[in-house]
Amino acid sequence: MNIKLEDEDKERDTRDEEEEEEGGRNQSLALRLTKILIFYLALGFLGWNFFSFIFSSNFCNIEEVIIKGNDYLSKDEIFYKSGIQLGENIFKLDLKKSMDSLRQEPWIKEVEIKRVIPNKIIIFLKERKAAAIVHIGEEYYFSTKEGIILSKSDKPEEEFVLPFLSGLEIDGIKIGEIIDKPEFRLALEGINSAEVILPRRFCRVEILSPDDFMICNEDNTLKVRVNRPEVIISKENMLREALEKIEKEKLLVDYIDIRFKDSLVIKLKK
């Protein structure tokens, strides 16, 4: 009988110990969860205060806009077109909106804008290159080799340093539009080919028809009539010989015609 009571006491003690251990584990888990919760609450509080500070403090207001890569456009023009405001919070600036605004400018081919914490903005540009001056209607325009109209030019023809193209049958065109006439590209290729074989001799080309071009020097004393740009290169030697003959014999020439196969014609003035 005594043995049975002792066994019951041992079982009771064992259950008590297990309950104490389980209670300890529960308290330990609750404590850990409490600590984790307090940690994240503190972290969230600090984060909220930090973001509240950088979005409202003058410390992060834009003080300087640095512009790189511009040759034709002025820094003032680029700054205005970007829509960036000095004094604006750097984190509130909509970079995509500013880049989209700048891409509306035909001179700008590529653009990237970066924040430099705490108060600087850098605008990186890649501009398009003007390849010709084009006379359309009553206006003069800068154009790329692809025919993109970049802007108007108010310079008189004799001051142009780029190839000058005239004779395009276009009533009018807007800034940013593309000249879609095949003769534009042929004319530009023609005058560039002439420049290759006789540097600094030709600067103008008049489009007489889609397959007929007159390439001229500045004062119209030297004119070459051609129908395809590649003909200029293929007849380089013939053209040089004709020029030597003209200079040697002091001929009064209207133009040199190289449109005919395997031949060249010097058309004299009447």
Dihedrals phi, psi of 143, to nearest 5 degrees: -135, 150
Residue 136: which H helix or E strand, with range? Answer: strand 132-136
Task: Say which CATH superfamily domain 59-127 falls into.
Answer: membrane protein fhac (3.10.20.310)
Q: Measured between alpha carbons, how far is 225 from 205 in angstroms, rounded to an integer?
A: 10
pLDDT tens, 91-111? Answer: 889 999 999 999 999 999 999
- Structure confidence by residue, pLDDT tens digits, 155-206: 655 556 899 999 999 988 999 999 999 999 999 999 999 988 888 888 899 9
Nearest to 178 by CA among 211, 209, 136, 213: 136
DSSP secondary structure string for all residues of 78-104? HHHHHT--TTSBTTT--HHHHHHHHHT
Count of beta carbons in the 10 Å neighbourhood of residue 269: 8
**Segments in the chain below pLDDT 70:** 1-27, 29, 39, 41-57, 155-160
**Gap between the Cα atoms of 163 and 200, Å rounded:** 11
Q: Which residues are CB-neighbours of 115 under 8 A, at least 6 positions away? A: 90, 91, 93, 95, 121
pLDDT of residue 1: 47
Question: Helix or strand or coil: residue 217?
Answer: coil
> Would you kindly state where each structural domain of the chain is located, as residue ranges?
59-127, 132-268
Homologous superfamily, domain 132-268: Cell division protein FtsQ/DivIB (3.40.50.11690)
132-268 has the same fold as 59-127: no
- pLDDT at position 2 is 47
pTM of the model: 0.75
Q: What is the largest CA-CA distance in the chain?
A: 151
**pLDDT for residue 105:** 96
